[in-house]
Amino acid sequence: MPASRTSSIPPRSQPFPAPSPHNKRHNAVARKLDTISLTSSDAENTDPSTKQAFQDKLPPRPRPKKSTFVPRPEDIIEISSDEDDSPSYAPVQPSVIAEHRRQIAKLREESVKQKRDLERVSKELEGLREENQILKALHKPDNNNVVLEMSQLSDHLDCEICTCRMWTPYILPDCGHSFCQTCLQDWFSTTHAQFMAAHPQHPNVNHTFIEILRQIGQNPHIVALPYVQTLIASQMPQRPDYTCPTCRAPVSSRPTEAFAQKALVRTIAAAAGEAIPKVARGVTKKGKGTGNGSNPWDGFFPPKTT
């Protein structure tokens, strides 16, 4: 039987890679193994254990290395941690830096000035506190007494016209301002004199008004008629227009004596050691006449009806 070529190495789908110095020995052994020819009888008589021992003596065949792709240098991008952490900024202009420095210097000057002012004010405040403590110690009021300065009460005790004590104060019902009796009488007398100079025929006898009053006396219900009220208003005799010396509000009714204010003025004046004038003759404690029926406002306002 002719000799045939056999090989124990199975066929490979791909060729071997290029030989390298480290596997030359393995390639030589492989070539020797490929050139061994065995007959069928030898192949059949060969001991499997001997064949296995021969194969075990062969060095292990290294595996082919995979080819790795090497990129071009221009395709490589370097990334550093500094670029990720700190962003890039545009350079600052020298003029901006100079302006910031000027502002900082100005703020420092203002801060120093404010500190000096604060120290000065603190010293003044401390001095005022000490002065206040001294005044409290000197003018410590008793539990049942109240200490007041007379300057604090002058605006409420003095007349606005003569700036003297209002020993006999009168209040105007229309506006609420108070004045002493003599000052109000002088004020109303001046207004009355000016009115008489402008109306020399006053008081004149108005016969029409007298007739209207007679008709009303006979028929009192006609007073509620609108045209009668208009007629009465047109025929009313003229009189001076009195006003308040302070606010110039019209005064249409008689002043009223302020008894509470009068008592307060006299009490405070007595505590201050001031001399209190005696009550005017013909006037009682309540401001009423003693018997002659006179009233300080009869010449300026019509008498009250009772």
Note the pLDDT tens digit of each residue in 136-152: 777 665 666 666 777 77
More confident call, 281 vs 236 = 236
Residues 185 and 264 in one domain: yes
pLDDT tops 70 at residue 268 = yes
Tell me the mean pLDDT in the region 237-243.
81
pTM for this entry: 0.43
Report how many domains make up the chain.
3
Q: Does 255 fall in a domain?
A: yes
- 130: containing domain: 111-138
The mean pLDDT of 220-245, rounded to a whole number, is 77
Give the rounded percent of residues in the chain with a pLDDT score beyond 70: 56
Could you tell me the sign of the dihedral formed by the alpha carbons of 13, 18, 23, 28, in that order? positive
Per-residue model confidence (pLDDT) at position 188: 93
Residues 6+ apart with CB under 8 A from 170: 178, 179, 180, 181, 184, 255, 256, 257, 258
pLDDT at 282: 40
pLDDT for 280 = 47
pLDDT for res 182: 92
Question: 35 and 134 share a domain?
Answer: no
What's the mean pLDDT when you consider all of the chain? 73
Quote the CA–CA distance of 301 and 187 in Å, as a whole number: 14
Q: How far is CA 154 from the centre of its chain?
A: 38
User: Where among 82, 103, 138 does a domain terminate?
Assistant: 138
| Phi (first) and psi of residue 180, to 5 degrees | -75, 160
Q: How far apart are CA 128 and CA 7, in angstroms?
A: 122
Question: Are residues 166 and 263 located together in one domain of the fold?
Answer: yes
Q: What are 8-32's pLDDT values in tens digits?
A: 555 555 555 555 554 555 555 555 5
